[in-house]
Structure 1
Amino acid sequence: MTVQPLANGFCFGEGARWFEGLVWFSDMLGEAVHTVTLQGEMSTLALPGHAPSGLGFRPDGTLLIASTKTRQILAYDGETVSALADLTDLVPADLGDMVVDAHGRAYIGSQAREGGVIVALDPDGRATVMAEDLSFPNGMVISPDGTFIVAESTARRLTAFTVADSGALHDRRVFADGLDGPPDGLAVDAEGGVWAAMTLAHQFERITGGGTTALVTDRIDMAGRTAIACALGGPEGRTLFLLSSTDAYPERLIGTRLSTLDAVSVDVPAP
């Protein structure tokens, strides 16, 4: 696999998504959301006063943005940004990553190292805690068979849930344990394989559910850079977009512009 540079010059990229021919991602320390074309042209949505992280799109195209420290969910309709929900009373720590299901329901992680939770925000505005006692819940995906998978960074594992028709998460179980490093952002492919950013291992790995032992089918070495987040997309769904930085701890990168967005072709496409 050959990693190709696509864009740089931003502070700390997170929450990568592919939508309508563009790569979207948060610049958490740069208080912005960026979009990048396949030719590397970058545009910026400024979010002063917010440190954005998780992103997700509702079926109507509305972009949802997790504002980490304000613990709010923002909505961007293509013209204006508005506060959609305040989750402060439901969460024990700052917000992190997000995934939005086909019904427009958003799942948002609150990144406590112990006692982390996942909150579901329904299209009608109702917010409910759906999972508790997680170890720094980070990247989240919903696989083609409907399995909900979350990265527990400090536990170095991927945890799976079954999603009820109501959106509730139940039947908690281990998807993959004993990972090579703390997992951050996730992306899922058409076969249910999960690409995970392995921060301190400096690589991206494709993992299939193996329970107590992670089954790694592919590795992408980042030459010492910290793997942060990834997304599957491109014209045929076979491009894996990679966000990386020079440090796993954002506070050490304030004022820098050392994060990069790269791309690599993979065999199994997006769902």
Structure 2
Amino acid sequence: MRTHQPALFAEDFVFLEAPHWRDSRLWVSDVFDHTVYTLDSTGSRKKVCSVPHRPSGLGFLPDGTPIVVSSKDRRLMKIVGDSIVEYADLSGFASGDVNDFAVDSQGRIYVGNFGYDYDAGELRAATALHRVDPDGTISIAATELDFPNGSVIIDHGRTLIVAETWVGRLTAFDIDEQGMLSNRRVFADLGERQPDGICADADGAIWVGCFNTGEFVRVLDGGAITDVIQLEGHAISCTLGGEDGCRLFCTSYRGTLDELVARKRNSVIHVVEVDVPASPASGG
């Protein structure tokens, strides 16, 4: 098992989710600062837009249009310049705050939600993964998921991987030509590690931010862990990018949960040079 020494890339954020590399820039959602940013290769940031109801998952349609989750009001928003426009209203479908998503090559979006009111302290409940089609149709793609979180599509569009945070596993589905999911199976059992955001590399391995342990791990189908990055605090999410696709950008919260509740600006981005580049189908 390999270990890596991360380098600090940028700091002074509140809580960074859903990093994605696109057009030589790193895109991130600062959930509790209600802002989407881009950063250049030196770590210099630029505000893209505000998302009043908490930005979370980020991704891009096949034509390059950026989509961001508006979590608390359970919508997907299209980013147009420095503004947001509703793309899909999931408030009548999702049973909790909308979270992360993955986009396939046809523009279908597979999006998860908490499943219950986490902020109000409700009891955990299983929930559905929804699919938003390019024509606006919203349907249930899968059921009985336990806090579906980070998502990524691998195998040239044939497999969807979803992190189920509270049960410590990555779950895989086959995707058919119509976008239907089947053959649900465990991609990796992470034990006590709680997976948050994920990304894929060109070999089909998944990099996972493990929130409770502060680790980013690279895991293979079946659960073998090949690489570990240990950070201070709580690991959140990651993406592969850079000019060669071999820079792993890792977002974390370098503080306590009480400090997060107080909105202390302890969220940071680290970067690690890795050997295997981003998967072309991973959205990174």
Normalising by structure 1, we get a TM-score of 0.94
The Cα offsets for residues 34-67 of structure 1, whole Å up to 9 and x where unpaired, read as: 1111111101123252201001101211111111
Consecutive unaligned residues in structure 2, runs of 5 or more: 116-123, 280-284
Aligned length: 267
Distance 2:241 2:145 in 1: 29
Q: Is it true that 1:107 corresponds to 2:110 in the alignment?
A: yes
Any runs of at least 4 consecutive aligned residues in structure 1 with deviations exceeding 2 A, and if so which?
77-80, 246-255
Task: Give the AA of the match of 1:8.
Answer: E
Whether 1:260 aligns to 2:268 is yes
State the one-letter code of the partner of 2:92.
Answer: D
1:238 aligns with 2:238: no
Matches within 5 A, 1:33-52: 33-52=36-55
5+ long unaligned stretches in structure 1? none
Q: Distance in 2 between matches of 1:234 and 1:144?
A: 22
Asked whether 1:217 is paired with 2:220, we answer no
State the Cα distance separating 1:253 from its structure 2 match.
Answer: 3.5
Superposition pairs for residues 14-163 of structure 1, below 5 Å?
A: 14-112=17-115, 113-145=124-156, 146-163=158-175
Distance in 1, matches of 2:233 and 2:75, equals 30
Provide the rounded CA distance (Å) in 1 between the counterparts of 2:257 and 2:106.
34
CA distance in structure 2 between the aligned counterparts of 1:56 and 1:65, rounded to whole angstroms: 7
- What one-letter code is carried by the residue in structure 1 that aligns with 2:228? R
Alignment partner for residue 192 of structure 1, among 204, 208, 221?
204
SS, match of residue 252 in structure 1: helix
Q: Tell me how far 1:179 sits from its aligned partner.
A: 3.1
Aligned CA distance change for structure 1 residues 92 and 148 (closer, same or farther; 3 Å): same
2:47 and 2:94 mapped to 1: Cα distance?
Answer: 29
Per-residue displacement from partner, 1:173-194 (whole Å, max 9, x unpaired)? 1111143411000000001000
1:79 is displaced (CA, Å) by 4.7
Shift of 1:249: 5.3
Change (3 A) 1:69 1:26: same
Q: % of aligned pairs identical?
A: 37
